[in-house]
Structure 1
């Protein structure tokens, strides 16, 4: 039996358990995922699941729905299938998924629909900082621990993606900077995280030494000097899905990219390759909002428990390939503790560098 929902001021009916977009995205400018930047509004809303179709459920499901913030793209679609829809069907609870910019600060907690988030996916470095600031619910651990708030979700690979139609042999980060031999635009993340590590590796720093170098003033200056060499050729991306889109549509010749999004794009407009040597391995975790009522907090914990079950984990892995299959590839793990400590300062430095013509 169809159920009613409110959209654009009119009542409409859609079949139960089918997704339906409710609102347009509302992007705002500003640095990505930093704690001292202007807050960006949540940029999209997708209805994933509903409660049973009885009269009370049809009129009141939104008031009790869990609002989940995720990163969108192929990752979000895989989470829909592996986690959110099965959980909603099993537990008879609604789920609303927003696509957001990854900043859990209270000022950014209201979506275009006016609903505060319940559970959110974010980078480990963001989760650690938010935990220490009291922005996330402490789920366990010592009071002073920065690891007590995030529930591990997945490890996401950031690799070099390139247009194989124009470059037949897999390039490296040093080739990424060689615009004479390989003329064309380059894509990089508009965030110091991953971008500064890549700049140092392109400048000859061994992956194992990257964070030791980046922890020094000379190392920071070295990374920004390297970025300055490439400045006129950079096309910035701000979301995982965008990193795959700009290489798939030919906007750039090469880009740093979220591997799972590129792999999910499949055969697009370009033959896109992924170079996993000197790739980065970024941890993502689920966080829970700190100011939930008891019933909502219990539903949030139930969702986290559901997503951790082996059956659901295996289903998600079959839908989204976040990392290379080859065991010989050893990506550089992004240092969440380093970024928790240095992200505010390096974000300001990065914003200042961007502002220079």
Structure 2
């Protein structure tokens, strides 16, 4: 009888340990963005399920996936990636297909497949936010008021260093818009050798004044420290610095480039089932609205919009700070995901060669 009790206790303790060991490793971009996810997704998910979240960050969470999958040593369960990376990783068989039927309906019963905005649901990815690359300036260090994308590339009118992401994507599109190419024609122009040459010619104008950045937390810091007077940046990072940290930073929406971030699960993820539970939980109507109260990225669900209210300071209305606000869309470009899936390697090779000269 005693032996039976010991065996029973051992078995029960094994079950308890198994429950405690449940976890999900989520890789994101760091800074204010990861904080918004921790508050809106991670903490409530753990509270509801008991599953622990290991939060890790990278300059670009898509980068480690290929190496980990090919090495058969995957430590990431969920990664937050840009749209073109999600499509490419799916095409290469490096991430898991996602059963969209697992996603919860909107509060009024609208199926998830009809509630997410167009493009936000893919075979291997579920969108969470709409964000944009904008440029911003430090009003303490700029004489006058920059208002157009052309002003970013005009160092005679607005002298000083410029912070630019060390990447062809978004940088080339902004250069063409600054050179007078209408937003609707940018990708047609960039799809030609002459168009690529034209974009690099615009970059040549400011090459000696560029300070390159790679992580999203860098542009607000460069601006605040006075190392640059203007910088391309992710709109939510500038919002956080300006509103939460009271930095004198201003966003210029003209020429913004809209994009999605989506959740993916690498092939061979050690906690695949829990990863899928996390994605379903985190992309429901309320969670996406909750994230938008921490950072100014638009929710990927239509039904979340009306639930977005005040920033966590309790006084700042989030709506006007969203890239999708009507006033901010007057000269906006939607990132052409298919273009970058096809052209990413080629244009970044040209970009890196230009950097080296």
TM-score, normalised to structure 2, is: 0.76
Offset, 1:94: 1.0
The residue correspondences of 1:1-357 to structure 2 (distance < 5 A) are 64-100=22-58, 101-102=60-61, 103-107=63-67, 116-139=75-98, 147-165=122-140, 166-266=142-242, 268=245, 270-292=247-269, 296-322=271-297, 323-324=322-323, 326-330=325-329, 331-356=332-357
4+ residue stretches of structure 1 with deviation over 6 A? Answer: 54-62
Instruction: Tell me: CA distance 1:153–1:269, structure 2 relative to 1, closer, same or farther (3 Å).
Output: closer
Q: Which shows bigger deviation, 217-226 or 161-170?
A: 161-170
Residues 270 and 298 of structure 1: CA distance in aligned 2, closer, same or farther (over 3 Å): closer
**Aligned residues of 1:249 and 1:269 also touching (Cα < 8 A):** no
Structure number with the higher helix fraction is 2
Contact 2:23 2:53 in 1 (8 A): yes
In structure 1, the residue corresponding to 2:327 is in which secondary structure?
Answer: coil
Instruction: Give the greater-gyration-radius structure (CA).
Output: 2
Cα distance in 2 for partners of 1:279, 1:354 equals 23
**Matched residues in 1 for 2:200 and 2:288: separation?**
39
- Distance in 1, Cα, partners of 2:97 & 2:188: 30
TM-superposed deviation, 1:349: 0.9
CA RMSD of aligned residues (A): 2.5
Change (3 A) 1:238 1:60: farther
* Equivalent residues of 2:257, 2:335 under 8 A apart: yes
Aligned partners of 2:149, 2:288: CA distance in 1, in Å?
33
Q: TM-score, normalised by structure 1?
A: 0.76
| Aligned mates of 2:284, 2:224 — CA distance in 1 | 34
* C-alpha displacement of 1:284: 0.8
Separation of aligned partners in 2, 1:163 and 1:237: 17
Structure-2 change in CA distance of 1:185 and 1:211 (3 Å): same
Q: C-alpha distance in 2, partners of 1:188/1:109?
A: 31
Change in Cα spacing, 1:346 to 1:63, as seen in structure 2 (3 Å) is farther
Retained in 1: the 8 A contact 2:138–2:249?
yes
Paired residues in the alignment total 294
- Partner of 1:319, secondary structure, is coil
